[in-house]
Amino acid sequence: MHRHILIIDNDALLRRSLAFNLEKAGYRVSAAATAEDALAQVRLGPPDLVLLDIGQVLTMPLFFASNAIYPISMMPGWLQVISHANPLTYEVDALRALMLASGTSAYGVGLDVGILLAATAALIMLGGKLHPNVVI
């Protein structure tokens, strides 16, 4: 008997990707976009595991390890290293420079955009290597 996993997330792409990988690993997967859909799924049969709002598990550590809340100079040394490798740091830097009346960029908007483009390209290539058969 295959274990049943219920994925609840409002991000359709994330739900599909996670379901694809779990089904490939031999699990029976149900997915729901809303709490109402999830309750309907549970009424059909309780799952063995519920994965809820997985996107937050990925984004919140990036958010707190960026300069979005407080300056990098106030962080411990080990977190400063992580923050400088975090693409969200450069997104926040560019947004502050472009959206605030007297906003300035700590790294320069050109570098911010360049790092974001490089990170995007690297993640697309990584995704293509890890999941060559996924078609969106």
Fold for the domain defined by 4-57: Rossmann fold (3.40.50)
Residue 70, number of CB atoms within 10 A of its CB:
10
**Average pLDDT estimate for 95-106:** 90
Band of pLDDT at residue 104, cut at 50, 70 and 90: confident
Q: What is the dihedral of CA 125, 126, 128, 129, to 10 degrees?
A: 120
Measured from the Cβ of residue 128, the count of other Cβ atoms closer than 10 Å reads 10
Over 70: is that where the pLDDT of 1 sits? no
Q: What is the pLDDT of residues 12-59, one digit of tens each?
A: 998 998 999 999 999 999 999 999 999 999 999 899 999 998 878 878
User: What is the per-residue pLDDT for 48?
Assistant: 95
Which pLDDT band, with edges at 50, 70 and 90, does 92 fall under? very high
Domain-wise residue ranges, the chain: 4-57, 65-130
CA 106 – CA 90 distance, rounded (Å):
9
